[in-house]
Structures are given as structure tokens and as C-alpha cells.
Amino acid sequence: MTVMQTTPLAAGQTAPDHICSAPPRRHPRPEGQDRYTISEVVAFTGLTAHTLRWYERIGLMPHIDRSHTGQRRYRNRDLDWLDFVTKLRLTGMPVADMVRYAELVREGESTYLDRQALLESTRRDVLARIGELRDTLAVLDRKISFYAMEGNTR
């Protein structure tokens, strides 16, 4: 079985909600709203204001609108992009590759093949890490079983 395959559930069985699910958002976005301050984005994403400013400075975030007083005003599309960037960080993708991906997105549709190649490379890295984690989990399970059996013999 590959990571992309699933095992069907038995009749009446429900999938646990923690398997392969994204963590819940810290705070749901208000319905119908499309302008957010940096502090609201911090609450929605769990990222720090420093990180958000840094993402903007290094070119990872698209242009962020500003209010008439110069305050950042994030939009839903910015929050969607941050969700994706957060997923890329979880894959272990280097920041330089994330910035390159953002540059490719800004360049338009002509970069689809380059974006696909970058994501496929990241996917291969993720699959390798999953394999390493499965091996590590097997070692932990063996040790836990050993200690459980030893504890029962005393």
C-alpha cells in the first residue's frame, strides 16, 4: 500500500478525525469579511507578526494592501496563500524553494511545469521522510513492547 492509497472502513465504522486532517484553524475567519489586520492574521494562522513581515520582506508573500494609515490589510486570498505556505513549511521545503515557487506563481501560467517539478521534488522528499518516520515508529513500538513485557514479569 502506498501513502496515497486508503484502506476501506468496515460497515458502520467511522474514520478517526485526527488521521490525515489539518489541524483546526485557531480562529475561524468571519463570514463575509475580506480585510484583516496583522493581529487578526496572527490569531487566524498562529504565525507571529514578525514572521508575516519577514515573509513579505523576502518575497514569499504577494503584495499586501495597506490602509490609508499604512497598516497592512490582508485579504482572504492572502490567508489562503499563508495556509499553503504553512503546508510547504511542514514538508520541510527550504525557504529559498518556497520563495522560488512564489516567484513562479507571480510569473504566471507559463511556469506550470516548473512549479510542478518543484512540488514533485518536495513530494519525493516527504515520502522519504515518511519512510524514515515509519522505521522510527517501528523501533519505538518494539521498545515500548519490550518495556511492557518486562514490566509485566516483575
Residue-wise pLDDT for 42-80, tens only, equals 999 999 999 999 999 999 997 899 999 999 999 999 999
Confidence label for 85 from pLDDT (cuts 50, 70 and 90)? very high
| Lowest mean pLDDT segment, chosen from 14-18, 90-94, 128-132, 135-139 | 14-18
Instruction: Tell which residue, 91, 83, 89, 84, has the closest CA to residue 122.
Output: 91
- % of the chain surpassing 90 pLDDT: 72
Instruction: Tell which residue, 8, 95, 7, 86, has the closest CA to residue 41.
Output: 86
Q: In the prediction, which pLDDT does 63 show?
A: 85
Q: In the prediction, which pLDDT does 19 show?
A: 42
Q: Report how far Cα 151 is from the mean position of its chain's Cα atoms.
A: 40
Question: Taking all residues of the chain, what is their mean pLDDT, rounded to a whole number?
Answer: 85
Instruction: Tell which residue, 5, 78, 10, has the closest CA to residue 41.
Output: 78
Q: If you average pLDDT over residues 22-32, what whole number do you get?
A: 60
Summarize pLDDT for 103-139 with one digit per residue, the tens.
999 999 999 999 999 999 999 999 999 999 999 999 9
Q: If you average pLDDT over residues 86-95, what whole number do you get?
A: 96
Could you tell me which residue, 29 or 145, shows the higher pLDDT? 145
